[in-house]
């Protein structure tokens, strides 16, 4: 029993030492972080919905601190104390507002911009730097939804007569379609017969297109034949013109010959042809 009790004491002591070590490290880190931060006061004139203790303080979207205290100074003002990094370039003209994380409604303090010439954050009487939030940069999600719904309601109210007429026209159009459903079916059937059905049968439009294609092919063939005949006619015409041109040239050179025929002077004598050489005599064989 004593041995088992000693083991329990040793284990409990070891666990206590480990927990104390972790606690010291955590405290030391927090102490260092606190030493690098400075408190600032932010005053919201109106609601600061979704803002909680421990919420983030962001400068141009980057976390620079946390909210340490939230309290109501009066019914229309919320005072927030935050610890921010001393190196954060917060100026007197830095815009202060709220950022909402999606649809959860959790918000964080948003600091944006500022000029170097504006100087640092003005200090209040109690020595705490104080900034006033921009009322135009603060809007709860619920308030935004309500404002949108109010605008939609106002739009509908202002245009109720036009909306009523539009609904009446739509109802009349639907009734006209219902009353003329038979005609619409006939029109669709006519279109189907014109374009052809799904079973491969040709419609009137397809038949007309095929006939027009055949007519164009025949026209091309006939045009080719006419072109060929035209080329032959042109060739014959050129030959005829050449013959006429030669006849005109002959008439210009010797018109009397063309009119009265060729004269004796124009007839050239034909030279006599030489007689063919005589064949050599055959030799006769001597008889004995």
- Encode the chain (288 residues) as per-residue pLDDT tens digits: 556 556 677 777 788 878 887 776 666 566 555 558 899 999 998 777 778 888 899 998 889 999 999 998 888 889 999 999 988 889 999 999 888 765 555 688 889 888 888 888 888 888 899 999 887 665 555 556 666 778 888 888 888 888 888 888 888 888 887 888 778 777 777 766 666 655 555 566 677 777 777 887 877 787 777 777 777 777 877 788 777 777 777 766 766 665 555 555 454 555 555 555 555 555 444 444
- Cβ-in-10-Å burial (0-12, 13-18, 19+) of 109 comes to buried
Of 44, 68, 46, 65, nearest in space to 56 by CA: 65
* Gyration radius from the chain CA atoms: 59
Question: Token pair of 140, please?
Answer: 């709860």
């Amino acid at each position: 029993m004593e041995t088992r009790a000693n083991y329990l004491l040793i284990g409990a002591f070891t666990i206590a030492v480990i927990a104390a070590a972790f606690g010291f490290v955590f405290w030391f880190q927090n102490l260092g972080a606190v030493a690098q931060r400075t408190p600032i006061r932010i005053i919201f004139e109106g609601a600061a919905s979704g803002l909680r203790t421990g919420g983030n303080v962001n400068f141009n979207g980057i976390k620079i601190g946390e909210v340490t205290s939230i309290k109501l100074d009066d019914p229309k003002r919320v005072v927030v104390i935050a610890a921010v990094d001393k190196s954060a370039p917060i100026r007197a003209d830095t815009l202060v507002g709220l950022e909402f994380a999606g649809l959860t409604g959790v918000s964080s303090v948003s600091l944006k911009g500022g000029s170097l010439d504006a100087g640092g954050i003005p200090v209040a009487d109690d020595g705490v730097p104080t900034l006033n939030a921009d009322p135009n940069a603060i809007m709860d999600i619920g308030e935004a939804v309500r404002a949108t719904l109010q605008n939609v309601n106002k739009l509908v109210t202002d245009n109720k007569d036009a909306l009523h007429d539009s609904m009446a026209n739509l109802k009349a159009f639907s009734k006209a379609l219902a009353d003329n459903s038979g005609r619409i079916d006939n029109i669709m059937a006519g279109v189907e017969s014109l374009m052809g059905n799904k079973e491969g049968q040709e419609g009137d439009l397809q038949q007309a297109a095929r006939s027009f294609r055949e007519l164009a092919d025949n026209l091309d063939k006939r045009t080719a034949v006419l072109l060929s005949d035209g080329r032959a006619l042109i060739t014959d015409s050129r030959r005829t013109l050449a013959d006429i041109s030669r006849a005109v040239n002959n008439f210009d050179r010797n018109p009397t010959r063309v009119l009265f025929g060729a004269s004796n002077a124009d007839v050239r004598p034909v030279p006599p042809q030489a007689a063919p050489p005589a064949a050599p005599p055959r030799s006769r064989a001597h008889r004995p």
